[in-house]
Structure 1
Amino acid sequence: MRFLYFFIMFSFAFTGFSQTKEESANTMVKEFFKAFNQQDSVKLKSFAFEEVELKSIVKNDQGKMVVHTDTYDNFISNIVNIPREVNFEERLGIVEIKTDGYLASVWVPYEFYLNEELSHCGVNIFQLIYTQKGWKIISLFDTRKKQACKY
């Protein structure tokens, strides 16, 4: 009887610690941005699933929409190589998450600041896959604009 009581209490104690897939995806994205802001290349690499597709959608000087493609390794290198004397921060808006089994889509409005001044804003869109090691990034798209920055 004592074992049954212990088992029931133990089970209830841990149900509060389990996260839904949406909550764990949200946690992963927040940890990604924490590593991003800290320029932690090891941690940033740990979020990737094999080949990660990166695309940035911007309006060029002629007003034409263009798509820039990059590798995840270049992205990490660019972040890590920001000089220490440059203060940068990506501030996030409200994160929206949709999941279906092993797939998640995460919409994250942001404002990017350099030395406390707004540089640009937009939306990050993560596509995630759920693995035995948790959520991993399979693609990351972002938009970048200089005005109308309200998330």
Structure 2
Amino acid sequence: MIKFIPTMILLCLTISVSAQEISEDEKVKKTIETFFQGFHARDSVVMKSVFHEDPIVQTIGRTKEGEVKLVNEELGKVLKGIVAIPLETEFKEVLHNYEIKIDGEMAHAWTPYSFYMNGNFSHCGVNSFQLLKVKEEWKIIFLIDTRRKEGCEGRKMK
């Protein structure tokens, strides 16, 4: 019995250490969560901290005539626009889940969402994040989202 005690201690330590390691999926998710923490706080410094230099930011939407439209955005303008939202305007983007795929230093995260302004449903869509692992940190290199008002029934908060 005494011979097994050192083995049991080593096994417990190994399990404890491996339980504390964060998976790459969780690291990617944390990068996106940090972006949204900054987004909801209107904090451009926090939001910018998770982007790689010179990222691509785009939106897919529709014109008033109903035609599909791709809009290219500059990150600086996007951040300034978020920071400029009046403090009395309440907004929240609710992410419904994360689908994360990783291959080496590249990751993709698909996050369906619902967006609310002043507590009222505004629109839904999906965010598509492409990330690059640089010096053990995941950075957003490409962000594109869709926005629509139809087909959102299962996503609205109660």
TM-score by length of 2: 0.86
State the partner residue of 1:23: 26
Give RMSD over aligned pairs.
Answer: 1.8
Equivalent residue, structure 1, for 2:108 = 105
Does structure 1 residue 71 correspond to structure 2 residue 78? no
Distance 1:130 1:72 in 2: 19
Q: Distance in 1 between matches of 2:142 and 2:13?
A: 39
Q: How does 1:22-61 map to 2 (within 5 A)?
A: 22-61=25-64
C-alpha separation in 1, matches of 2:24 and 2:136: 13
- Paired with 1:21 and 1:133, the residues of 2 have a C-alpha distance of 10
1:89 aligned counterpart, secondary structure? strand
Report the alpha carbon displacement of residue 133 of structure 1 after superposing the two structures with TM: 4.7
For residues 31 and 109 of structure 2, what CA distance do their matches in structure 1 show? 10
Question: Cα deviation per residue 1:80-122 (whole Å; 9 max; x = unaligned)?
Answer: 1100000000011111100001000100001111000111110
Hey, what's the Cα distance between the residues in 2 that align with 1:106 and 1:132?
A: 19
Deviation at 1:12, TM superposition (A): 4.7
Structure 1, unaligned stretches of length 5 or more?
Answer: none
Using a 3 Å threshold, how does the CA distance of structure 1 residues 133 and 79 change in structure 2: closer, same or farther? Answer: farther
Among 117, 120, 130, the residue aligned to 1:117: 120
In the alignment, structure 2 segments of 5+ residues that lack a partner are 1-5
Name segments (4+ residues, structure 1) moved above 6 Å: none
Q: Does 1:146 align with 2:146?
A: no
Moved more, 10-19 or 63-72: 10-19
Give the Cα–Cα distance (whole angstroms) in 1 for the partners of residues 27 and 68 of structure 2.
34
CA contact (8 A) 2:35 2:47 kept: yes
The CA distance in 1 between the partners of 2:71 and 2:40, in whole Å, is 22
Checking the alignment, whether the CA contact within 8 Å between 2:44 and 2:79 is kept in structure 1 is: yes
For 2:147, give the aligned amino acid.
Answer: R
Q: Percent identity?
A: 35
Matching residue of 1:136: 139
1:90 to 90, 93, 99: 93
